[in-house]
Structure 1
């Protein structure tokens, strides 16, 4: 899993650069013809990872129910994200990753409920979920690269 975690760390560092290099206005801008923005994509990957890894393992998530509702599959931005929310997302971007790696190394994950993603991936265990998460985050990074061309 070292390679998988290293890929994840690199991915999250790339997301962090968006939070550090774009203004609040740019993070919130939804380009014409698109349904979300930069900050929604970052919130979404955090919430999705928590669901794929913790919820499906029967463990509590490290994100609030409110955040989950705001950024889960099928949601769309409903207004501008505040600077305080961006700061929370920035913290969670790294803290949830570090916590997951620590929890994995401690062996706290004991069970996993198999899950089929909307894209047809069959996740049978925790390792499948962690590896799929990297793929999922890559998809959203691609969306963000497209969005940034229009802001």
Structure 2
């Protein structure tokens, strides 16, 4: 989980946590709502951040839990229609996200990219 293969900037667990952090920023922060995870977590795993050292088993377990807990909470919050306001955001790819539906669609794309990275890293560790 912590090994960074040659040619990569991060590791498996960083990519998994990055997906959680970006989902929280795209869906909750851009909706003006509090995130489920801490600001520190989002900063630690945001775009441009890199692993700061090995992640403990406790933190790995927390990240694994967050992968499903944030998904289920987002589904509940979406069903409860809490995503009323949204601050437009243009991604580094030039896509402008205008509402919660766009945020969820872009998040799926983003998670797909990082799933591919995780699968590539697995081949080297």
For Structure 1 versus Structure 2, the TM-score category normalised by the shorter chain is: over 0.9
CA distance in 2, matches of 1:56, 1:43: 19
Query: Are residue 124 (structure 1) and residue 98 (structure 2) matched?
Result: yes
| Number of positions where the alignment pairs a residue of Structure 1 with one of Structure 2 | 125
Alignment match, 1:138: 112
Q: CA deviation at 1:109?
A: 1.0
| 1:125-148, Cα deviation, whole Å (9 max, x unpaired) | 110000110000000011111111
- Map of 1:67-106 to 2, 5 A cutoff? 67-106=41-80
Q: Equivalent residue of 1:61, what SS?
A: coil
Q: CA deviation at 1:100?
A: 0.3
- Map of 1:51-70 to 2, 5 A cutoff? 51-70=25-44
CA distance in 2, matches of 1:119, 1:45: 17
CA distance in 1, matches of 2:116, 2:66: 21
CA distance in 2, matches of 1:63, 1:144: 22
For normalisation by structure 1, the TM-score amounts to: 0.81
Q: CA deviation at 1:121?
A: 1.1
Q: Decide which moves more: 64-73 or 74-83.
A: 64-73
Give the superposed CA RMSD: 0.6
Q: CA deviation at 1:120?
A: 1.4
CA distance in 2, matches of 1:57, 1:109: 6
Q: CA deviation at 1:71?
A: 0.3
CA distance in 1, matches of 2:115, 2:102: 20
For normalisation by structure 2, the TM-score amounts to: 0.98
Return the structure number with greater helix share: 1
